[in-house]
């Protein structure tokens, strides 16, 4: 009974969508169902879109004996919607990190096994082997703005 209610709701939404656009809901073309899936993508998450398309196809099959959900265009549209949904989810997962891992973890120096930038005594913006006081060496290695913040000394406030 629950599947019947879900089918009715999806079918009624599809019929009203077709009516708004002057399209036939019965018998529907495969491109009509594919266009509905693309429209539905903006209003529902992917699992709901897939369930609605299956429900519409079941009701349509009982009325016309045509399986719209098995048409290559509809199947391709659903797979593209699924791919886009996965890409959005992975982009949100990557965006969720507050700081990149490179900023938090210590990087190993090339060519020196087991030595990190902290252990070698070089700043992240300088090349290994250059002295901190040597300004000409730092200017040659620096290109553009630094990603790390500039350290500023604290000034004592006069009371």
Mean pLDDT of 149-154: 63
Judge whether residue 126 has pLDDT over 70. Answer: no
Q: What distance in Å separates the CA atoms of residue 144 and residue 146, rounded to the nearest whole number?
A: 7
- Domains of the chain: residue spans and CATH: 2-82 (1.10.150.130)
pTM of the model: 0.55
- pLDDT score, position 67: 87
- In angstroms, rounded to a whole number, what is the distance separating the alpha carbons of residues 127 and 146? 13
pLDDT at 68 over 70: yes
Statement: residue 60 has pLDDT above 80: yes
Within 8 A by CB and 6+ apart from 28, the residues are 18, 60, 68
Q: Please give the mean pLDDT across all residues of the chain.
A: 75
Q: CA-CA distance, 28 to 15, in Å (whole number)?
A: 10
Residue 81 has pLDDT above 60, yes or no: yes
Task: Among 1-5, 24-28, 74-78, 83-87, name the one with the lowest average pLDDT.
Answer: 1-5
Average pLDDT score over residue span 58-82: 90
């Amino acid at each position: 009974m629950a599947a019947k209610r879900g089918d009715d709701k999806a079918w009624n939404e599809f019929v009203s969508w077709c009516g708004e656009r002057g399209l036939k809901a019965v018998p529907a073309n495969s491109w009509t169902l594919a266009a509905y899936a693309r429209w539905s993508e903006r209003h529902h998450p992917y699992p709901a879109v897939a369930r609605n398309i299956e429900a519409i196809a079941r009701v349509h099959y009982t009325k016309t004996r045509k399986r719209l959900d098995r048409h290559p265009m509809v199947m391709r549209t659903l797979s593209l919607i699924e791919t886009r949904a996965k890409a959005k989810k992975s982009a949100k997962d990557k965006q969720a990190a507050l700081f990149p891992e490179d900023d938090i973890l210590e990087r190993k120096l090339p060519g020196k096994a087991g030595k990190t930038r902290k252990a070698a005594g070089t700043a992240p913006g300088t090349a290994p082997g250059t002295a901190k006081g040597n300004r000409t060496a730092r200017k040659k290695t620096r290109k553009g703005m630094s990603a790390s913040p500039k350290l500023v000394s604290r000034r004592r406030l006069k009371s």
